[in-house]
Amino acid sequence: MRYYVVSDLHSFYTPFMKALSESGFFADQGPKKLIICGDVFDRGREALAMESCVSDLLDGGETILIRGNHEDLMTDLVDFLEHTRDPWRLIDSHYEHNGTLRSLCDLSGISLMDLMADPAGAAAAMRETVAFKKIIPASIDYYETSHYVFLHGWTPCRIINAKLGEPAPTFNDWRNANETDWKCARWMDYLTAIQENLMVPGKMVVCGHRSVKYGNISYLKEDDPDLIYRPFVYDGLIAIDATTVISGRVNVLVVEDD
């Protein structure tokens, strides 16, 4: 099976389509799957085009969608809107900084002012979108093949849980970690995994979430502006988030595995 792997698309539909085309995905007539390692929306302004595209890809039966921290942000934002009496708290919040508030408006067709006037109504409109009813629910915590684990941030582990004062999953049981553990793990990044020696024995982890430039600069000492956004390959991991909002590109990793 050939796997085409992308991550952190963040509503940048045009670079995503360009990258898939250049990778040979659309021309490939053999057994294949597209894996999206989370963060489909937020930041960019092509949310509706991305929504339609990912919906069609899921219908094709060849796409695996991994849940990212921005999928969590959107569900949390909708929950906030349903219960808040002070929607103005959203201004200068992490929902605004991460682009989630803008994506909710783009996807639901609700203006920011209308959202402030009727937050519950905005939440209800978002719940009726394809993104919320179909795409986000289709996302899973991770996908595993014989030699790879595909996820967003990292596996649930002691580093994240120690900060919360909770029991920590081990390398043997992270696959069965609960929803809270996975939600925390989606905020963890590969640099912490390297520093704390949290590799997954016998597997190559393919992840997004943290820009590849940090690994390429810090560990490979890369300083060529044309190369710092290429996938970062290290012992036990491949990071692929190209920070599209800055680089204008989407990395497509192509691997063969069982």
Q: Calculate the alpha carbon distances from 156 to 126, 184, 189 in Å.
A: 29, 7, 11
If asked whether residues 144 and 249 sit together in one domain, one would say yes
If asked whether residues 112 and 202 sit together in one domain, one would say no
**Which residue among 115, 136, 157 closes a domain?**
136
If asked whether residues 180 and 100 sit together in one domain, one would say no
Opening angle at CA 67, ends 61 and 71, nearest 5: 115
If asked whether residues 86 and 157 sit together in one domain, one would say no
Query: Domain of 31?
Result: 2-68+139-256
If asked whether residues 54 and 74 sit together in one domain, one would say no
Domain harbouring 152, CATH code: 3.60.21.10
Closest CA relative to residue 151, chosen from 139, 162, 161, 159: 139
- pLDDT at res. 196: 84
How many domains does the chain divide into? 2
Opening angle at CA 228, ends 227 and 232, nearest 5: 100
If asked whether residues 32 and 15 sit together in one domain, one would say yes
User: What is the distance between the alpha carbons of residues 48 and 50, in angstroms, rounded to a whole number?
Assistant: 5
Residues facing residue 256 across a β-bridge = 2
First to last CA, the chain: 6
If asked whether residues 105 and 203 sit together in one domain, one would say no
If asked whether residues 12 and 127 sit together in one domain, one would say no
If asked whether residues 203 and 246 sit together in one domain, one would say yes
pTM of the model: 0.95
**pLDDT string in tens for the chain (258-residue length):** 999 999 999 999 999 999 999 999 999 999 999 999 999 999 999 999 999 999 999 999 999 999 999 999 999 999 999 999 999 999 999 999 999 999 999 999 999 999 999 999 999 999 999 999 999 999 999 999 999 999 999 999 866 555 555 555 666 689 999 998 899 999 999 999 998 888 999 999 999 999 999 999 999 998 888 899 999 999 999 999 999 999 999 999 999 998
If asked whether residues 157 and 120 sit together in one domain, one would say no
Closest CA relative to residue 96, chosen from 111, 77, 80, 78: 77
- pLDDT at res. 166: 57
If asked whether residues 237 and 163 sit together in one domain, one would say yes
**Which residue among 78, 112, 136 closes a domain?**
136
Torsion of CA 230, 158, 137, 54, to 10 degrees: 0
If asked whether residues 96 and 33 sit together in one domain, one would say no
**Which residue among 136, 170, 186 closes a domain?**
136
